[in-house]
Amino acid sequence: MSEEDDRFVARLDVAKTNPWMIALAGAPVALGVALTIAFALTHTAMFAFAPPLILCGFGLLFFNWTNKPSAVREYAHVEATHATLSVGGKRFPRHRIRRAMLLPGRLGTRPNVRVEIKNRPVMQLGVSDEHEGRALLRAMGFDASQVVVRFRAPPSAAAEHWLTAKLLQQAGPVLAVMLALGARVFVGHASFLLIALLAIALLPQLLPSSVEVGADGVLVRWLWMKRFIRAIDISRVGSFEEVRGGKRRFGARLVLASGANVDIPVRGMNEEAELLAERIREAASTGAHGDAAAAALLDRGGLAVGDWVRRLKGLGAGATATLRSAAIDADRLWELLESPSAPAKERAAAAVALSTTDEVGAKARIRVAASAVAEPRLRVAIEAASDDDEAALEDALSLLEEKT
């Protein structure tokens, strides 16, 4: 394995579709086509079985194409940079890669890096250990410290008690008024009341939610509501499997420092739950605590937001100067900005200070740091620091301070 200048080169085993499984999956299609031909020639009644056989066969072919059951493993030359991924001579540009995550090894199996590419079946790259898998992800720009990964959550995820309670708290009075008005207008129409009550009861089950995992923590979204769980508040991560309402569901189980458990279900089977749990585990172990001395220099104090921004930019302009008493080393600012466990306000302040340094590529690096942040207000504030719109930056910092 070679890993220099953010470049990964190695020979990895790649999961490929098993031809025998394809043949078995295609058998119903072939039988359905044969029955169709027989019907055209002899008008046999067996034709009734042709459509379901063909549909079943195509479903099995699609499942084999996307999931590769009983896959054949073959070694291939793999090369990865932030721009492209090359596997066995085939090159995939960065913008075509939707997600890339580490799937931990199970009993008797090695870890895999799962790569999802637009309009392609899922690619599984076998690695020797988790260290090599994370090295590949870093080279691709998909490490937990580099980018936010999104998971689709089933409607049941939105019905967890802490989101349902928030919905009832925020929208309950409005729904009650609407129901009362409807009952007044449609008095005597019991069907209206029944439909309205059913709509309110089923709303949490019908609307999907999403889960975003960044280096700073986990963000669960549903409608206009959000819950953010900081990475530093997570003490342990595992996966769960349970049956609820006659349906089997999988997800990640977080044990917080307070001792509370938070279950986050996901769409898909157990593999997706393991991917989510491993990604959260990586986020919880990424980074170090902030620099107290640097944080003191970045503190707003009693300044107005505009004055604070100007002071931060002045600090950043002298960040690499060694003869100024107020100067601070740029490396310490970068460490603070890129530390998921540092307070949000300190990370945003560090981004503002670094936006005026004379370091080549500083603003691009700030945008990269923002792309790994899941908490929306912090991400917007860091992104604003890399732009030249000072009014937008001040607004973003003000909103961030309201949140903190």
Tell me which amino acid residue 286 is. T
d(CA 237, CA 218): 12
d(CA 143, CA 390): 31
Four-way CATH pick for 2-140: 3.90.550, 2.30.29, 1.10.10, 1.20.120: 2.30.29
Residue 12 CB contacts under 8 Å (≥ 6 apart), including other chains: 75, 76, 78, 125, 126, 127
Tell me which amino acid residue 96 is. R
CA-angle at 186, arms to 182 and 188, nearest 5°: 125
Per-residue pLDDT of the chain (404 residues; tens, 9 = 90+): 444 457 899 999 898 777 888 888 888 888 888 888 887 888 767 777 888 888 888 888 888 777 777 777 889 999 999 999 999 989 999 999 999 999 988 767 789 999 999 988 888 999 988 889 999 999 999 988 888 999 988 765 544 545 555 555 555 555 555 555 555 555 555 565 566 666 655 665 667 788 999 888 899 887 777 888 988 888 889 888 888 767 788 889 999 988 889 888 888 778 889 999 999 988 887 644 445 666 677 888 778 889 999 888 888 766 444 433 345 678 888 888 888 878 889 899 999 989 888 888 889 999 989 998 989 999 999 999 998 888 999 999 998 887 65
Note the pTM of the prediction, 2 decimals.
0.69
* The two three-digit tokens of residue 35, written as one number: 């029955």
Beta-carbon neighbour count of residue 7 at 10 Å? 12
d(CA 19, CA 44): 32
The secondary element (H helix, E strand) that includes residue 256 is strand 247-256
Q: Name which of 103, 99, 98 is nearest 278 in CA terms.
A: 103
Q: Are the beta carbons of 385 and 352 closer than 8 angstroms?
A: yes
* The two three-digit tokens of residue 77, written as one number: 């030359």
Beta-carbon neighbour count of residue 23 at 10 Å? 11
CA-angle at 378, arms to 253 and 133, nearest 5°: 50
List helix spans (H) across 43-160.
50-67, 130-140, 155-158
Domains of the chain: which residue ranges?
A: 2-140, 145-286, 292-403
The secondary element (H helix, E strand) that includes residue 230 is strand 225-230
Q: Are the beta carbons of 261 and 255 closer than 8 angstroms?
A: yes
C-alpha distance from residue 90 to each of 3, 135, 139, 219 (Å): 20, 20, 17, 35
Four-way CATH pick for 145-286: 1.10.10.10, 2.40.128.50, 3.40.718.10, 2.30.29.30: 2.30.29.30
E strand map for 112-216: 112-117, 123-126, 149-153, 209-214
Q: Are the beta carbons of 347 and 296 closer than 8 angstroms?
A: no
Residue 139 CB contacts under 8 Å (≥ 6 apart), including other chains: 3, 6, 7, 8, 80, 81, 82
d(CA 204, CA 155): 7
Per CATH, 2-140 and 145-286 having the same topology is answered yes
